Amino acid sequence: ELKVEQNPLFLSMQEGKNYTIYCNYSTTSDRLYWYRQDPGKSLESLFVLLSNGAVKQEGRLMASLDTKARLSTLHITAAVHDLSATYFCAVDGRYGGSQGNLIFGKGTKLSVKP
């Protein structure tokens, strides 16, 4: 059974600081996704990582995937208040024959304070 663990679950940061959110998963997968959710809102796609060593960056966020270690990271550079949200990683549960059956982590609630 595929399990996805994120840590930390809660993160309070000061503006301007850097931090990394970790996403570990338990079985082989070659597709990993990062989403953002604002309170009371739906999920917004941030990154799709499709191969070992994939790295994607958008603004102050950078995501990477190491399929051998079964680990993805979401790195935040020089945090700003607008990044406050809950971040989810999700792993495709079917290796090599995806039907998009995503298994989600519990999410990391990020709060960026002045």
Partner 1 sequence: NAGVTQTPKFRILKIGQSMTLQCTQDMNHNYMYWYRQDPGMGLKLIYYSVGAGITDKGEVPNGYNVSRSTTEDFPLRLELAAPSQTSVYFCASLGSSVETQYFGPGTRLLVL
Binding site residues, partner 1, CB under 8 A = 4, 9, 31, 33, 41-45, 48, 50, 88, 90, 92, 98-107
Least distance (Å) between residue 54 CB and partner 1: 12
**Least CB distance to partner 1 at residue 73 (A):** 18
Residue 46 and residue 65: Cα distance in Å, rounded? Answer: 14
Distance CA 67, CA 60 (A): 23
Least gap, CB of 103 to partner 1 (angstroms): 8
- Of the two residues 80 and 111, which places its CB atom closer to partner 1 in the complex? 111
**Closer of 30 and 66 to partner 1 (Cβ):** 30
Q: Which is nearer to partner 1, 39 or 114 (CB)?
A: 39
Work out whether the CA dihedral 28, 18, 76, 109 comes out positive or negative: positive
Could you tell me the strand order of the sheet in which 4-7 lies?
4-7, 19-25, 71-76, 61-66, 55-58
Least distance between partner 1 and beta carbon 3 (Å): 11
